[in-house]
């Protein structure tokens, strides 16, 4: 298990970093660093002997945060910002069809499971919709909206 980055390397965080209870002085769940921000590696360690953890100093936020390797890319690597985040509640902005059959009606609630950024296709989200249990769909960003709970 060799680290991808070294001390002083500039890296970009690919997802929002929230306090999981290990960052002193911040509430659990509080946003610490927004995705897309650039920081510099200050230390390299491991967790449970199978994950590399980088201490990354985010200068503008004045924070030193532990980041897993899969949460980082090189600062010089192409970056496509995304509208939604993993585990965020969303809804279908249009009816979604599978093989010509509408399986997800307009406005159906769901959740982002994962996302992929590609230079040619933009951001594609792996989504779970409540109306289609157990079947994740790959959905382009334009076909999704933010979920608003209409009961409140």
Asked whether the domain spanning 89-146 has the same topology as the one spanning 10-74, the reply is yes
Q: What percent of the chain has pLDDT over 90?
A: 48
Q: What mean pLDDT, rounded, does the chain reach? A: 88
| Cβ atoms 16, 85 nearer than 8 A | yes
For 40-86, the pLDDT digits (tens) are 999 998 788 788 899 999 998 899 999 989 889 999 988 888 888 88
Split at pLDDT 50, 70, 90, the class of 94 is very high
Distance (Å) of CA 10 to CA 116, 143, 149: 22, 34, 39
**Quick check: 92 pLDDT over 60?**
yes
pTM, to two decimals? 0.67
Q: Which CATH architecture is the domain 89-146 placed in?
A: Roll (2.30)
Q: Which CATH architecture is the domain 10-74 placed in?
A: Roll (2.30)
**Quick check: 150 pLDDT over 90?**
no
For 104-132, the pLDDT digits (tens) are 999 999 999 988 876 667 788 999 999 99
The closest alpha carbon to 20, from 66, 63, 61, 58, belongs to 66
78 versus 135: which is more confidently predicted? 135
Domains of the chain by residue range: 10-74, 89-146
19 φ, ψ to 5°?
A: -70, 120
């Amino acid at each position: 298990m060799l680290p991808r980055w070294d001390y002083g390397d500039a890296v970009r965080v690919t997802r929002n970093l929230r306090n999981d209870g290990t960052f002193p002085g911040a509430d659990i769940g509080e946003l610490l660093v927004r995705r897309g921000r650039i920081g510099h590696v200050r230390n390299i360690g491991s967790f449970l002997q199978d994950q590399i953890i980088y201490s990354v100093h985010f200068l503008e936020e004045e924070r030193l945060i532990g980041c897993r390797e899969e949460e980082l890319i090189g600062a010089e690597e192409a970056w496509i910002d995304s509208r939604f985040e993993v585990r965020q509640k969303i809804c279908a902005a249009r009816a979604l069809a599978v093989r010509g059959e509408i399986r997800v009606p307009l406005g159906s609630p769901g959740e982002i499971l994962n996302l992929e950024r590609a230079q040619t296709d933009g951001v594609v989200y792996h989504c779970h919709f409540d109306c289609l249990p157990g079947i994740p769909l790959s959905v382009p960003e334009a076909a999704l909206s933010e979920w608003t709970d209409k009961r409140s």
